[in-house]
Structure 1
Amino acid sequence: MATISSLGIGSGLDLSGLLDDLEDAEKQKLTPIVAQQQSYKTKLSAFGSLESSLTALRDAATKLSDPETFSAVTSSMTGDAVTATTTGDAVAGRYQVSVSSLAQAQSVASQGYADKDASLGMSGTLSFSVGEETFEVDVADGDSLADLRDSVNAQDGGVTATIVNDGTASRLVLSSAATGTDATMSVSSADNDLNNAFGFSTTVSDVDGTSTITGGTMTQTVSAQNAALNVNGIDITSQSNTVEDALEGVTFNLTSTTTGAETLSVSKDTESMTKAVKAFVTAYNSFQSTSDALTSYDSESDTAGALLGNSTMRTIESRLRSVLGYSDGDGTFSMLSDLGIERQLDGTLEVDNDKLSEAISSDSDAVSQFFAGVDGKGGLSASIDDTMGTILDDGGLLQIATDGIDSTLDRLGDRYTRMQESIDSTVERYRTQFASLDSLVSQMNSTSSYLTQQFDALSAQTNQ
């Protein structure tokens, strides 16, 4: 008997279509599993959104826990000769600053050499001294002016060397890497030729900072000099043009001398303080908006938020409402409402700008105490961080909830796989049965056709 290569060919029945319908019907068993998977994935995504909003709120609260947030100052400087940067240690006030001289690094130049790459014709050791630092440079037979430059720079010893061509000859120029008289250089050598060519010593006056060069043929082109400035009538000297210790919490950067006094104005940076507080309020309201969306219910469309009725969500909302009721009985400001921050009926926070501004302007230290506590202990920010720890940290509410969802999704994935295998087995059994049916009907059709032919032939003979 011929083999049936496709269902229905032998019988003439639409067995392939029937098998497809049966397979589609079997696959309906996967629908509830897929629906459950999608539901849990939606919850997992919802917890991800919730975590993002809570993390932002925690970060905003952490900013308020830093006492420097409420000790920030802002400064402005008249003129262009001096710029100033401030820290929270700066004291508000006006300061008159004048600069009579800038700090500069010492620089000396050698006699001219016709060819910087030609041999110097001398050898030995040059000993360098820069302030308290010393180092040596060996000059070998055949070394050139360029070789000496490279040897000095390779030491990285507080002296930089370069070659300057003045149009007729090349000169070795040595410069102190640092400014000020403490970085005055001296060079000497036991070899007379080297000492005569490159050795020198510098004597610095204790009065006016001027210096003179003795020995060798090196010529001082720039003398070492300290910066000299005056702040509110007090004379100050500095080895550097960056002056850090003249005024507490202020760093002056000197760029040029002044013809008169420039004024530095230092004041509390109430704008940045207010901005930090409002950033916290914004972060909380963002969390509240996320929470509302995840727990909402629309009766008209009969659609619910992904976390409506979820116990973890209810616990988080309860804990945050509780922590916002923090009270500091020892501080000037005991509650958020004292700072002009009120909770609204919809759960959001609203800021009374005038009241907050008055609190920060009049007593920023007390505002800092409310948020940051005293000596890093207490404060609303610490309470929020502790609460967030129970929610966001390892082993917290969110991890427990999401780990549970992940486990459920794993089980659903296994269930889906088993169900798919069962469906495949059932469909394959149907296919085998249909193939047998197709073959049987084909045989019956063939037998029927044969018998019909025989009866027709017999009938014909009988009629004859």
Structure 2
Amino acid sequence: MTAISNLNIGSSTYDLDSLYNKLEAVENQSLTPITQQATTVKSQISAFGQLRSALESLQQATTKLSSVSSLNATSIVSHNTSFTAKSSSDASVGSYQIEVKQLAMAQSLLSDKISSNQQPLGTSGSQDRTMTISTGSGEPITFSLADSDTSLNGLVNAINRSGADVVATSIKSNDGEYYLSLSAKNTGANNTITLSVAGDDKLQALVGYDGSSSTTGMKQSQAGQDALLDVNGIAVQSASNTVTDAPYGVTLTLNSVSSTEERLEIANNTTDAVKNIKAWVTAYNNVQSVIASTTNFAGSSSLSTDTTSNGPLMGNGTVRDIQNQLRSVLNTTQAGALTIMAELGITQSTTKGADGSIGTLNVDEDKLTEALTSTPQAVYQFFLGDGKTTGFSTLTNQALTSILSDNYSTKGTLTAAVNALNDSYDKLEVRYDQQQSRIDATMARYKTQFTQLNKVLSQMNQTKDYLTSQFSNSDD
């Protein structure tokens, strides 16, 4: 509040402006505790935000360890020429003999010679002219053709924009003649093309094709065929050159016919599993680092009077509860051949880290790789369990959900703590506004009183001057 101006009365010994400002400063001191509490609450909310971010990253890393594919990775270690292969987590480690005997092909049709690509090829003025195209067992596509659509270029454009599963193009030969070429979009022996024109016999005679008559306008230039291959002596047939689950969990992309059998070799790929487990450890250690920084005590063994450098969550019960929940999961013995993380090469540090964190994890990558290579099923069992009540990833995810949940009916540990702090901050704002209103009212009252005092002192000063003058005259 601005200090009142001109409260003094000339030569008065009373400095009313200074007195007013001192009274206002004293009144404003009552706002300081509220402001300090609000600052503390805000810093705590911010610190909990940092902790939430770290815990959410840990939950994301945990989710990755909750799927077989993140732990049971395989890779293709052979180099093949007639095909390329990609394996999934479902693939079995081993070797397979594969021979590609035939590639899948798409059926292609070719028209007779056409002298011009611009001249209309149908009967001019034909009414209700339509073309119908079907491929394989798909639904026939029927569309109208105007006179301008009956030229070679017009037919190509009309067919390609019809949505039929064929590709049309025009081909110009060395002698200047043109041809209409039609190819199925999909390969396979059963993916055959039929094409007919209704309402224009002339155009039907030129481009019609039903696959059963040699008198049709279009002729087959390439028959559709399936891919044929042998996998460990077993015949496999596929309408596509992309063959799945032969062997199971493997996708083969056929490139060429084999000159001889080729060996496909599938091996365990521990790289991705190690990467995902190490990412989880990094996320866990980051949680501990955030906890250390937000709960830091700046003093020594004896209490320090400097509390400004302390972490905003120092001594906070919610943080201790979160730490205890995470440690409980770490210390839970899992059922199976592997029961504790140390058997995977993951151990807990017993010394305080450089950032003040306690209980961070270390990874012996060689020991972890050995476990994934020699006993992969035991590793999967340790992390996955039954996916409901057992398994390290399952229990960790449940604990983190309990901490982070923001459901309307179920508030997690951290969410409840932040909500309570937000409520406290709102109440402090109300208290601040109420106290400020009280101060404003008090200072307004002081202003009125000081103004009245100023008038009284002014009147007294005038009386003093009058009496002084009268006494001086009476002496004369």
Q: Give the TM-score of the pair, scaled to structure 1.
A: 0.85
Residue matched to 1:199: 208
Partner of 1:112: 114
Specify whether residues 202 and 428 from structure 1 end up closer, same or farther in structure 2 by C-alpha distance, changes over 3 A only: same
Q: 1:287 to 1:188 in 2, by over 3 A?
A: same
Cα distance in 1 between the residues matched to 2:467 and 2:169: 118
SS of residue matched to 2:196: strand
Equivalences for 1:17-416 in 2 at 5 Å?
A: 17-79=18-80, 81-110=82-111, 111-116=113-118, 118=120, 120-121=122-123, 123=126, 124-133=129-138, 134-140=140-146, 143-145=149-151, 146-165=153-172, 168=176, 171-189=179-197, 191-202=200-211, 214-260=214-260, 262-300=262-300, 302-303=306-307, 304-329=310-335, 331-345=336-350, 346-374=358-386, 377-394=389-406, 395-416=411-432
CA drift at 1:278 = 2.1
CA distance in 2: counterparts of 1:30 and 1:375, whole angstroms? 54
- The structure carrying a bigger strand percent of its residues is 1
Cα distance in 2 for partners of 1:377, 1:268 equals 28
The residue identity in structure 1 corresponding to 2:370 is E
Which amino acid is the alignment partner of residue 429 of structure 2?
G
Q: Which amino acid aligns with 2:168?
A: A
Aligned length: 446
Q: CA deviation at 1:169?
A: 5.4
- In structure 2, the CA distance between the partners of 1:441 and 1:112, relative to structure 1 (3 Å rule), is farther
Q: What per-residue deviation string (whole Å, max 9, x for no partner) do you get for residues 291-318 of structure 1? A: 2223332324644322222222222222
Q: Percent identity?
A: 38
Summarize deviations over 1:156-211 as a string: whole Å, max 9, x none: 232233444558455443221211222111223465323211112336xxxxxxxx
Within 2, Cα distance between the matches of 1:17 and 1:252?
Answer: 91
Once the two structures are overlaid, the 10-residue window that deviates more, 285-294 or 219-228, is: 219-228
**Residues 376 and 253 of structure 1, relative CA distance in 2, 3 Å threshold:** farther
Q: In structure 1, what residue type is equivalent to 2:265?
A: S
CA RMSD of aligned residues (A): 3.0
Show structure 1 runs of 5+ residues with no match.
204-212
1:117-175 Cα offsets, whole Å, 9 max, x none, are: 64732544433331112233333556433444444334423223344455845544322
Cα distance in 2 between the residues matched to 1:326 and 1:439: 82
Q: Do the aligned partners of 2:123 and 2:202 also contact (CA within 8 Å) in 1? A: no
Paired letter, 1:194:
L
1:208: which partner in 2? none
In the superposition, the TM-score normalised over structure 2's length comes to: 0.83
Residue aligning to 1:427: 443
Segments of structure 2 that go 5 or more residues without pairing to the other structure are 351-357
Change over 3 Å in CA distance of 1:112–1:449 after alignment to 2: farther
Give 1:6 shift: 4.5
Structure 1 residues 224, 430: CA separation in 2 closer, same or farther (over 3 Å shift)? same
